[in-house]
Structure 1
């Protein structure tokens, strides 16, 4: 649906296939790394079902790794939840943008909230057409959710047999997929300026700040670039 309530035009078949390919490829790259959270959760002392509940209910990779990392290091439950929550704040910010694209209500709105993650948001906002944005969001979010939870189960089952997941390059796969989504946004001067400033801010803050804070500080870069003097007003869509 468009903002005015009229049905949005359907996507051409070729364009639809392109969005499907993008969403599924990101889902596979990101979902595969779920095996590591399963293995790490069990190594930190969680049971298989606790590891599964973490992926099913929290479903935010950064927050999950932060929580498991604090527990593995001997931290308290309160410290683990606080650190995880700091990293999860960004998902709420994503929701402000995604809700305008989806226009979902009722149960679909609840499902959308659960699937609002880095990857589904990046695919959705990267599409020029509203219909493509909606399709990209649901395909990407659904693919990541299914594969992430499946691989969490596998990782929790095989545990110590897996070893360090990084030796298989799975940690790089998710990051590479996300960088590929962001790359087209760097064609504009504003995009390059925001990326450069965000990187500098994150590097300055990361050594001394707790997990989650560098991500939030880096987000300030977009605000700074958007409000800088002399910037032309955005064209009306």
Structure 2
């Protein structure tokens, strides 16, 4: 007699988070080819290029750094520009830390892997195993593939030509947009769309006048300000999940009184 195993919603959520993480990791990692090729073209050596991907590990900051270097800017200006763009990763910490509950060495590793993609995938799931799996798998996957393709782009830089013509930057942006799109629907999504529009307008309006990196911070400041001014819903005012939903259906049936025993 074949034994039919009962469904495990928690395991299904973890698997879905891992699949999502791997998809995002591949789309983002491929973009590392562009960075590797452009970094070598800007005058950095193979070792310097790989050091940026291994240690800085922030695509926006890395592209900003080589952009300043490639335009004959000073090292101080390159570091300052990259640092401004990297500030946003520090802002993710308070949001990610409660999800992971990491301590010691794992906390340091989590800090290194806290980027746009890992934060987005981790926070797209309810707190628990799925959120942790989404964060760790995305962070580790992007780190591995980003560095692998950075190496490939740096070694094949001359043969590739301008890597931006392949549209890898658009693929990475499309993957990230697909990731956050479910959060842009409904009543809360309407507010998110308005905040995003205001941030985009602020960034575009100030880009011609401010140093690289500052418009991004200004856009983030707009979003933070709106968040501070938006009233917070009191606990319990929204739809609350059924705590029994993640349990085995047979267990839920045992917990419920029979029809005749109901008061």
Per the TM alignment, residue 133 of structure 1 is displaced from its structure 2 partner at its CA by 1.3
Structure 1 Cα separation of the partners of residues 9 and 203 of structure 2: 38
Larger of the two Rg values belongs to structure = 2
Per the TM alignment, residue 226 of structure 1 is displaced from its structure 2 partner at its CA by 2.4
Do the aligned partners of residues 211 and 235 (structure 1) sit closer, same or farther apart at CA in structure 2, a change above 3 Å counting?
Answer: farther
Alpha-carbon contact 1:195-1:221 (below 8 Å) kept: no
Structure 1 Cα separation of the partners of residues 30 and 144 of structure 2: 10
Structure 2 Cα separation of the partners of residues 182 and 211 of structure 1: 25
Structure 2 Cα separation of the partners of residues 223 and 52 of structure 1: 34
Per the TM alignment, residue 28 of structure 1 is displaced from its structure 2 partner at its CA by 0.2
Map of 1:210 onto structure 2: 211
Map of 2:193 onto structure 1: 192
2:111 to 99, 110, 113: 113
Q: How many residues align?
A: 227
Structure 1 Cα separation of the partners of residues 184 and 94 of structure 2: 22
Aligned partner of residue 235 in structure 2, secondary structure: coil
Aligned partner of residue 92 in structure 2, secondary structure: helix
Aligned partner of residue 43 in structure 2, secondary structure: coil
Q: Normalising by structure 2, what TM-score?
A: 0.82
Map of 2:243 onto structure 1: none
Per the TM alignment, residue 25 of structure 1 is displaced from its structure 2 partner at its CA by 0.3
Structure 1 Cα separation of the partners of residues 152 and 13 of structure 2: 34
Structure 1 Cα separation of the partners of residues 11 and 228 of structure 2: 39
Gap regions ≥5 residues in structure 2: 1-7, 241-263
Do the aligned partners of residues 95 and 11 (structure 1) sit closer, same or farther apart at CA in structure 2, a change above 3 Å counting?
Answer: farther
Structure 1 Cα separation of the partners of residues 9 and 79 of structure 2: 42
Map of 1:5 onto structure 2: none
Question: How big is each residue's C-alpha offset from its partner over 1:38-89, in whole Å with a ceiling of 9 and x where there is no partner?
Answer: 1111111111111111100010000000110111100111111011100011
Structure 1 Cα separation of the partners of residues 228 and 83 of structure 2: 28
Q: Normalising by structure 1, what TM-score?
A: 0.90
1:147 to 145, 152, 157: 145
